[in-house]
């Protein structure tokens, strides 16, 4: 059987649609991972004082101070600063509340690419720019704010690890866009 004319076009469409469906599922799965990461980063910024206290107590209970004393000392210093700030200047935590809110709002922005990835690929580009911006911020603000180098590396890793799913998603969206364009021209 030879496929010619309109038949070839519909055959190509039929072959392209399953690939589009797979790409769309993958894009959405990676976006869910990214959105969950943003939501968790945001939500965990609200109880910062409690989390640092728990983290410090856990490090001490596990005996981490014997093999990573600098880490435990850093947690103790941050805990002391947060406790003093919460006690004497609780309004300072309002800035952290806005940081948390910003993470949640940014997560909502990724609903656009979740619904229509090709049309909203710009949100992915925005996310990649934000991930890249984490690195110079940590490199500049870290030393200015007396943040230990190891902690700045952890902060920078959020930009690197955040960019990975976004780069994968962007590549898949571009492939999806090409498939849709090929289908439309066929």
Instruction: Encode the chain (186 residues) as per-residue pLDDT tens digits.
Output: 334 444 445 545 555 689 999 999 999 999 999 999 999 999 999 999 999 999 999 999 999 999 999 999 999 999 999 999 999 999 999 999 999 999 999 999 999 999 999 999 999 999 999 999 999 999 999 999 999 999 999 999 999 999 999 999 999 999 999 999 998 887
**Got the DSSP string for 22-63?**
HHHHHHHHHHHHHHHHHHHHHHTTTTHHHHHHHHHHHHHHTT
What is the Cα–Cα distance from 137 to 65, expressed in whole angstroms? 29
What is the Cα–Cα distance from 48 to 6, expressed in whole angstroms? 62
| Residue 155 · residue 138 · CB < 8 Å | yes
53 CB burial (10 A radius; 0-12, 13-18, 19+):
middle
Q: What is the pLDDT of residue 186?
A: 77
How far the first Cα of the chain sits from its last, in Å, is: 21
| Percent of residues in the chain assigned helix, strand, coil, to nearest 5 | 85, 0, 15
| Residue 79 · residue 56 · CB < 8 Å | yes
- Single pTM value for the model: 0.86
Q: What is the pLDDT of residue 110?
A: 98
Q: What is the pLDDT of residue 17?
A: 86
What is the Cα–Cα distance from 133 to 165, expressed in whole angstroms? 16
């Amino acid at each position: 059987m030879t496929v010619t004319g309109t038949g070839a076009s519909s055959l190509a469409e039929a072959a392209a649609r399953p690939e589009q469906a797979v790409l769309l599922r993958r894009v959405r799965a990676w976006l869910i991972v990214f959105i969950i990461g943003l939501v968790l980063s945001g939500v965990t910024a609200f109880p910062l004082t409690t989390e640092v206290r728990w983290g410090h107590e856990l490090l001490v209970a596990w005996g981490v101070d014997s093999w990573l004393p600098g880490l435990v000392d850093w947690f103790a210093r941050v805990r002391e600063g947060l406790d003093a700030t919460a006690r004497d200047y609780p309004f300072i935590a309002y800035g952290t509340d806005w940081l948390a809110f910003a993470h949640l709002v940014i997560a909502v922005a990724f609903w656009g690419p979740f619904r229509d990835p090709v049309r909203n690929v710009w949100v992915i580009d925005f996310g990649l720019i934000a991930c890249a911006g984490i690195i110079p911020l940590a490199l500049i603000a870290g030393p200015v704010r007396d943040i230990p180098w190891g902690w700045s590396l952890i902060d920078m890793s959020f930009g690197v690890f955040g960019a990975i799913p976004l780069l994968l998603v962007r590549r898949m969206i571009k492939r999806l866009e090409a498939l849709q364009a090929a289908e439309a021209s066929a």
